[in-house]
């Protein structure tokens, strides 16, 4: 149906850079940064940074599937981070930076698993891909100052 959007949620390191990358994709309607996959209700950024809540820094994307496919979003996901490092992206270290695809329905799960296998077989990565594929849970939006952080601050890196 015209006007319907779908949701996708990815964890690929510092959510500021991940959000900035997905905001450039034609067909992405909106993005929000936040947390998913942990035990604490309504976590703050400070809570998640302790590495004890189990949450991942994620970007939740609303996209128009008539303009961009989930497969296209998966390709962006694989391109913008190193899916072979456990709990680390660049200088960011901790479980909150783990590589994960949170799926919202069975078709997304199937596409994510197929895509991960294809990437592993492609030879692009010399080490094993450690990206987790998990059902989406509650999305806890990060504080407002984190939303579209790079656009607000003119920064282009996750180092504080």
Provide the sign of the torsion angle of the four alpha carbons 71, 8, 44, 56, taken in this order: negative
SS (H, E, C) 120-132: HHHCCCCCCCCCE
Rounded to 5 degrees, φ, ψ at 147 are: -70, 125
Considering the candidates 12, 14, 21, 33, report the single residue annotated as catalytic.
14
Residue 49 designated active-site: no
- One DSSP character per residue, 12-28 reads ESSHHHHHHHHHTSTTE
The residues that are catalytic are 14
């Amino acid at each position: 149906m015209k006007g319907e959007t779908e949701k996708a949620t990815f964890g690929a390191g510092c959510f500021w850079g991940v959000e900035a990358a997905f905001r450039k994709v034609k067909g992405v309607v909106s993005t929000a940064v936040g947390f998913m996959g942990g035990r604490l209700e309504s976590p703050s950024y400070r809570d998640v940074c302790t590495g004890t809540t189990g949450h991942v820094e994620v970007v939740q994307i609303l996209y128009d599937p008539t303009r961009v496919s989930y497969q296209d979003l998966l390709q962006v996901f694989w391109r913008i981070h190193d899916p072979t490092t456990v709990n680390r992206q660049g200088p960011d270290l901790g479980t909150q930076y783990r590589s994960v695809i949170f799926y919202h329905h069975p078709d997304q799960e199937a596409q994510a698993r197929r895509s991960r296998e294809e990437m592993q077989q492609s030879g692009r990565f010399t080490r094993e891909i450690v990206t987790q594929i998990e059902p989406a849970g509650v999305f806890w939006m990060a504080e407002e100052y984190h939303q579209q952080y790079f656009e607000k601050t003119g920064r282009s890196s996750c180092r504080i």
